[in-house]
Amino acid sequence: MEKLFDIQRQELLSASKAMLDRGLVTGTAGNASVRLADNDEWADANTAAFMVTPSSVPYEQLRSNDLVIVNSEIEPLDGESIPSTESLMHRAIYQARPDVQAIMHTHSTFATVVGIAGKPILPVIDELVVYVGGQVDVAKYGEPASDELAEFAVEALAEKGACLLRHHGMCAVGTSVSRALEICTLVEKAAQIYFYSELWNGSIELPPDAIERERAIYRMRSGFDV
């Protein structure tokens, strides 16, 4: 019988490769992780914190053994590679958001453009409210792999499903790595729509009553009041 741990490893590997296939990352950019479920092998929650993609391994070459299990101090416990340099951000989000089971950080083009401009992605399409909780806010700038970046990402994310990292792409969270991947894809689509609508005639948000109804759907799914 396949262990839940092995299932999570395969899901993280598949979703990480899908980031490349969908054009959300290039080379070795971006990263993803999953919070480990309770199981016999990693039963102590204080010992095994999460499984994360490795640093500097191209996605085409990524193998299941490259995925790294780290403890709460981001010390490797299992895996053949060095954990992602953005593991600080992943740890900070898991600590702040007990509802989050997976995190994905991408460098997709339009989300990065909007983040560089320092503008949130306004709720111009219904899906953004239903799956993210409203507009996608921009975090204050923090250098890559720094405590500041981790702090600012948590702050901008709040109780929503995604945030933009200024000059550094975007971050999405979900109940699974597949859900986090879908949110990354949705945010990139919304960023592209928002960008072109701003160029053409300016963006117009959804009607306030529609936003409130759709936020209720997000609240019901996430358990948070946004």
Catalytic-labelled residue, pool 41, 80, 86, 159? 86
Q: How far is CA 25 from the centre of its chain?
A: 13
For residues 177 and 32, is the Cβ–Cβ distance under 8 A? yes
- pLDDT band with cut points at 50, 70 and 90 for residue 40: very low
Locate the domains of the chain by residue range: 4-222
155: Cβ–Cβ under 8 A, 6 or more apart, which residues?
139, 140
| Cβ proximity of 59 and 20 under 8 Å | yes
pLDDT band at 24 (very low <50, low <70, confident <90, very high): very high
CATH topology of domain 4-222: L-fuculose-1-phosphate Aldolase (3.40.225)
Report the interhelical angle of 147-157 vs 87-96 (nearest 10°): 40
Catalytic-residue membership of 86: yes
Q: Max alpha carbon distance in the chain (Å)?
A: 57
Residue in this structure with the two tokens 């992780």, named with its chain if needed: 33
Two tokens, residue 149:
């970046």
Radius of gyration of the chain (CA): 17
The whole-angstrom separation of Cα 82 and Cα 194 is 37
- Rounded Cα distance, 31 and 98, in Å: 20
156 phi and psi angles, rounded to 5 deg: -75, -35
With beta carbons less than 8 A apart as the criterion, state whether 138 and 220 touch. no
pLDDT at 33 over 90: yes
- Taking CB atoms within 8 Å and a gap of at least 24, the contacts of 60-69 are 60/17, 60/20, 62/13, 62/16, 62/17, 63/13, 64/9, 64/10, 64/13, 67/9, 67/12, 67/13, 69/36, 69/42
Q: At what angle do helices 109-117 and 177-200 cross, to 10 degrees?
A: 60
Residue-wise pLDDT for 93-130, tens only, equals 999 999 999 999 999 999 999 999 999 999 999 999 99
CA dihedral 218, 219, 221, 222 (to 10 degrees): 110
Mean pLDDT for the stretch of residues 77-82:
84
Whole-number mean pLDDT of the chain?
Answer: 91
pLDDT tens for residues 168-197?
999 999 999 999 999 999 999 999 999 999
